[in-house]
Amino acid sequence: MPPPASLKQSHDAYLESACQRLGYDGSIYELLLVASREIAVELPLRRQDGSLVVYRGYRVQHHNARGPYKGGLRFHPSIDMEESRGLACLMSLKCALLDLPFGGAKGGIDCDPSSLRERELEELVRKFVQKMHRNIGPNLDIPAPDVGSDARVMAWIQDEYSKVYGYSPAVVTGKPVATGGSKGRESATGDGVGIVVECWARQRGTSLAGKSVVIQGFGNVGSHAARALAARGMRLRALSDVRGGVLADAGEGLDLEAVLAHHRKTGSVVGAPGGRPIENHELLELACDLLVPAALGGAITEDNAGRIQARAIAEAANGPVSEDADRVLCERGIPILPDILVNAGGVTVSYFEWVQNLQQLSWELEEVQSRLRARLETAAGAVFDSAGAESCSLREAAYCIATRRLKDALLSFGF
Ligand code: NAD
């Protein structure tokens, strides 16, 4: 069997199919596919044990016709130029779908942050900014947290950049509230998962109360999605992280507060009270009303798509369902709420953070949350209406809306 489609290959296939549905010729697909700029930097680090390790930093800036480049920085050994390309293009489309005035970018450093001491990680991040500062900025490219990076990393970037350009909080989003971050940003992606899933259930005339959910990944997105879905009455059947998972003993599901306390103590959900251990691959195949992959790309491929027993999937991670698996799941009638919509709460509140920074304002949490809900409900409504009118999948509808907006902006500038 050929290897499963990579995140980039899957994304390219979704984009190509959107271009075909919209009747665009091959040159438009090419224009949308190829990034404006790709940057790679070498990052040598003398570790505290005396060894020298050479890391690589990446940034792909996809297109900025709708606004400055925007996207996360991933700190993970798997990040490379190819993955950054796929994720940067996905960001351009996500911003277009949410009608945010940004283009897309993505990048990161090919390190395992858990293997570095805090001082080493800080040095690495500051070196990345020293090499990259001419290519980022409040009106140029605005990084944000992604896998393996967090508010603390954003504060280091903000500080290093501000040494050259003066106080510049708008150079990054997802930074600590104490240095200009927005209230509600940390939980925004998970909050958004709850809002989109709720909209979808409402549109189908059902309620989430009492329905079961399985979540893969318990980092920023997975843990806040768990909270948002549990707050809507969903039962947490199983949760996992990179070390393994926990499956609820009882029908009412896991007690989230107890899992969070265990996670704070041990750094993992494995061994949390009220459940028994389960492997990640088994967790994905559990029967449930909703499966939420919230870890890395490629969790569901052609290999396991036939064994998925969930009644629906909400892609909280970027690219968790490969294109070949998408086809199998569509044939099996399992609806997929696509990443481009489901996890867009993060970049939406990043936009609010940027707006607050540029105007030197600080909004209350309630204002952030009500604006987030309004943006996501508008985008979700457009996707649901279009999928119904065009008799296509939610992903196809979302890609078509976003692709049209991006193409219109790009062509308005002429060539
Ligand atoms: P994170 O680093 O905070 O958490 C990642 C989680 O996934 C951790 O619990 C980790 O243990 C787990 N994990 C890693 N590999 C795994 C595996 N093989 N099996 C099971 N669990 C595994 O990252 P995050 O910010 O929560 O991002 C998760 C996903 O959401 C990524 O795909 C990211 O691109 C996407 N995303 C994040 C944001 C954001 O605001 N942070 C926004 C949009 C999309």
pLDDT recorded at residue 250: 80
pTM beyond 0.75: yes
Contact 54, 62 (CB under 8 A): no
**Torsion angle of C-alpha atoms 218, 190, 183, 374, degrees rounded to 10:** 180
pLDDT recorded at residue 241: 98
pLDDT recorded at residue 172: 98
Considering only CA atoms, which residue is closest to atom 41 of ligand 1?
Answer: 146
- Beta bridge pairs of residue 196: none
Residue type (1 letter), 13: A
Residues 6+ away with beta carbon under 8 Å from 9:
86, 322, 323
Contact 162, 179 (CB under 8 A): no
pLDDT recorded at residue 9: 92
Residue from 241, 284, 315, 372 whose mutation best tests the ligand 1 pocket (most atoms within 8 A of CB): 241
Residue type (1 letter), 245: G
Contact 139, 165 (CB under 8 A): no
Say yes or no: CB of residue 147 within 6 Å of ligand 1.
yes
| 286, two tokens | 């559990």
Say yes or no: CB of residue 240 within 6 Å of ligand 1.
yes
Contact 194, 231 (CB under 8 A): yes
Residues in the chain: 415
Say yes or no: CB of residue 187 within 6 Å of ligand 1.
no
The series of mean pLDDT values per 10 residues for the chain, 415 residues long, is 77 96 96 96 98 98 97 97 96 98 98 97 98 98 96 98 98 98 98 98 97 98 98 98 96 95 98 97 98 96 97 97 96 98 98 98 98 98 97 98 97 87
Considering only CA atoms, which residue is closest to atom 17 of ligand 1?
Answer: 242
Task: Determine the Cα–Cα distance for residues 189 and 311; give it in Å rounded to an integer.
Answer: 22
Nearest to 405 by CA among 20, 95, 25: 95
pLDDT recorded at residue 6: 87
pLDDT recorded at residue 5: 73
Helix %, strand %, coil % of the chain (to 5)? 50, 20, 35
